[in-house]
Amino acid sequence: MKAPKVAVAYQEKWPEIKRKLTNMHIDTAAFRIFIRGFKSEKKLELWVSSKTSPVYQLYNVYPICASSGEPGPKRREGDGQVPEGFYSISVFNPYSNYYVSLGINYPNQSDRILGNKNALGGAIMIHGNCVTIGCIPLTDDKIKEVYVLAVEAKNSGQLEIPVHLFPEALSNWHGVEKEMIQKYGEGDSRIMFWKNLSEGYDYFENSHKIPEVRVSVDGKYTFR
């Protein structure tokens, strides 16, 4: 609260956040959040759950107001890509040049195996101010709400805030795969990568519970 922009965010957003969480039967003093982003649809979902329940409810959907790169994972520094995969919040920056920002833990273990090991890049943020090279920008107004929710979740004991990033919604993988083959060609390596992502997508989509994500020696994600 010593950071002026955070104090403003709390003043503007926290009363309404508390009202909405209460209406959702979520304990405002003990809740968790989950963030899920879709690059093609340019939207960021924020889900919430009480600490006593593993099942998440959709709290809000925020438009991603600028984008860079193309569908596919980030594999090297300077490629302009927004990462795809399974991450968590690793940085809270109340003094960001982009209003406030939340950093994700790119590169993760999978990225280190599959990406350019000598130049992976980093500093991938969810932030305000609608400009980006590989980050996920929301408007200043929307990042205020997301930031306050993340701070409160962390303060109530959530040690890891998961962030899952996808090229698009991957429901009905067989239909999605067919469209991707038609668009990018059957030999495009991204399709097998996206098929792997769809397993984690389906786990949450079907249960609204966060999967335990691990990475195998070949960089593939596994879920349980």
Tens-binned pLDDT, residue by residue, of the chain (224 aa): 899 999 999 999 999 999 999 999 999 999 999 999 999 999 999 999 999 999 999 999 999 999 999 999 999 999 999 999 999 999 999 999 999 999 999 999 999 999 998 899 999 999 999 988 899 999 999 999 999 999 999 999 999 999 999 999 999 999 999 999 999 998 899 999 999 999 999 999 999 999 999 999 999 999 99
CA pair distance 78, 215, nearest whole angstrom: 24
Question: Using alpha carbons only, what angle is made at residue 89 by residues 83 and 90, rounded to the nearest 5 degrees?
Answer: 100
Number of domains the chain contains: 1
CA pair distance 223, 214, nearest whole angstrom: 6
Kindly state whether residue 189 falls inside one of the protein's structural domains.
Answer: no
- Is the backbone peptide bond immediately before 167 cis, with ω within 30 degrees of 0? no
CA pair distance 79, 174, nearest whole angstrom: 29
Kindly state whether residue 173 falls inside one of the protein's structural domains.
Answer: no
Domain enclosing residue 154, as ranges:
4-168
Kindly state whether residue 205 falls inside one of the protein's structural domains.
Answer: no
Q: If 0-12 CB within 10 Å is exposed, 13-18 middle and 19+ buried, where does residue 168 land?
A: middle
Kindly state whether residue 99 falls inside one of the protein's structural domains.
Answer: yes
CA pair distance 197, 48, nearest whole angstrom: 22
Backbone phi and psi for residue 43, each to the nearest 5 degrees, phi listed first: -140, 150
Query: Active-site residues: which are they?
Result: 127, 135
Kindly state whether residue 126 falls inside one of the protein's structural domains.
Answer: yes
Confidence at residue 133, expressed as pLDDT on a 0 to 100 scale: 87
E strand or H helix that includes residue 112: helix 109-114
Which of 149, 109, 113, 126 is CA-nearest to residue 43? Answer: 126
CATH number at residue 41: 2.40.440.10
Distances (CA, A) of 155 to 82, 151, 195: 28, 6, 35
**Token pair of 183, please?**
């668009």
Confidence at residue 1, expressed as pLDDT on a 0 to 100 scale: 87
Kindly state whether residue 197 falls inside one of the protein's structural domains.
Answer: no
Cα atoms found within 13 Å of the Cα of residue 99, Cβ hemisphere only:
23
> 128: which residues sit within 8 A by CB, 6+ positions away?
96, 98, 99, 100, 101, 137, 138, 139, 140, 142, 143, 144
Kindly state whether residue 180 falls inside one of the protein's structural domains.
Answer: no
Confidence at residue 117, expressed as pLDDT on a 0 to 100 scale: 86
Whether the full predicted model's pTM is greater than 0.85, yes or no, is: yes
Kindly state whether residue 216 falls inside one of the protein's structural domains.
Answer: no
